[in-house]
Structure 1
Amino acid sequence: MGDLKINQALALMKKSGFKFTERRKAMLTYLEAEDKYISAKEVYDFMNEHYEGISFDTIYRNLSDFTELNILEETEFDGEKKFRFHCAHGGTHHHHHFICTECGATQVLEMCPMDYFEEQLNGAEIEEHRFEIFGKCADCVAKKSEKNGSFSNKS
């Protein structure tokens, strides 16, 4: 599935007038493989390992372009923008996310809260909405509990 998403994204870029580059493909491949929200710094660190000397500005500009093309989703937590491959890219499945503020992992929320608000907005035309829940995922909570438990056992 990953290659299909990458190829669809690259085709959309080309159709929108962006030139194909191996660096852009590498960025998209990395983001698709991570399957969670990650910072521009994390993308930069990955890309700099493979393309030494690449600038942070280049990374950020491409992330912004990918977001404008709806290839990536963007959110903000901890005062920093984070990016992930768009869940609905190539599809139409509508959903929202729980986002772990510790590791960036996401969990799909199938229910849409807009269903409850639409009748309160009678006559309004909703153009777009976004719903995200932030917190610690079960894995990060468990790791924290283990760490706290082993710390208190050493006392």
Structure 2
Amino acid sequence: MTMDEAWKILLKHDYKRTKNRDILLRFFDQVDRYVTAMEVRNAVEQDNPGISFDTIYRNLAVFSRLGILDETELNGERLFRMQCASDSHHHHFICTTCGNTKSIPSCPMDQVTVNLSDYEIEGHKFEIYGRCPRCIE
């Protein structure tokens, strides 16, 4: 997802273009990994010292709900990253130490849906958690 695409989505849903939203989107545009709301706050408070944690968290929730950010939960904490630009269906390995991700092109749903022939599947999410080679060393 590009910043232009993110702004189109926000404006389409009647969200105004604000300095805080712009700072948050620029941060996610530059960081290609999952981050916590606290990491976001620590990074963006240099550009905007008055930004509150509530403002950050509220905007992250809006971005996630609108599909601008991808969200996962690890150890009871929400983590966010910019939505993938890829049009192809894929999943992720997520490093529990540094938050970096690696795309997994295959999908386990083909095997799962065999046992769900009478069910209507509305969506799914598949993630693998562990440590990347850099964090293992």
TM-score bracket, shorter-length normalisation: over 0.9
**1:114 corresponds to which residue?**
109
**RCO higher in 1 or 2 (8 Å CA, sep ≥ 6)?**
2
Alignment RMSD:
1.2
- Normalised by the length of structure 2, the TM-score is 0.95
Query: 41, 48, 53: which one pairs with 1:51?
Result: 48
Q: Which residue of 2 aligns with 1:68?
A: 65
Are 2:124 and 1:140 equivalent residues in the alignment?
no
TM-score, normalising length from structure 1?
0.84
1:124 partner amino acid: Y
Aligned-partner SS, 2:2: helix
Q: Mind listing any 5+ residue stretches in structure 1 that lack a counterpart? A: 143-155
User: C-alpha separation between the residues in 1 aligned to 2:108 and 2:58?
Assistant: 33
Structure 1 residue 115: Cα displacement: 1.0
Give 4+ residue runs of structure 1 displaced > 4 Å after superposition.
none
Q: Which has the higher helix share?
A: 1
Q: Which has the larger radius of gyration?
A: 1
**What is the rounded CA distance, in whole Å, between the counterparts of 2:88 and 2:97 in structure 1?**
26
How many Å apart are 1:22 and its aligned residue?
Answer: 2.6
Alignment-derived partner of residue 145 in structure 1: none
Q: In 2, distance between residues paired with 1:116 and 1:138? A: 29
Higher mean displacement: 23-32 or 68-77: 23-32
Partner of 1:150: none
Whole-Å Cα distance in 2 between the matches of residues 14 and 59 of structure 1? 18
Contact 2:20 2:51 (8 Å CA) reproduced: no
Q: Distance in 1 between matches of 2:65 and 2:76?
A: 21
Query: 2 CA distance for matches of 1:102 and 1:13?
Result: 31
- Aligned match of 2:82: 85
Q: Which AA in structure 2 matches 1:140?
A: C
Structure 2 segments unaligned to the other structure (5+ residues) = none
Q: What is the Cα deviation at residue 121 of structure 1?
A: 0.6
- d(CA) in 2 for partners of 1:54 and 1:26? 10
SS of match in other structure, 2:46: helix
Aligned amino acid, residue 131 of structure 2: K
CA contact (8 A) 2:32 2:100 kept: yes
Give 2:10's match in structure 1, choosing from 13, 20, 44. Answer: 13
In structure 2, the partner of 1:29 is 26
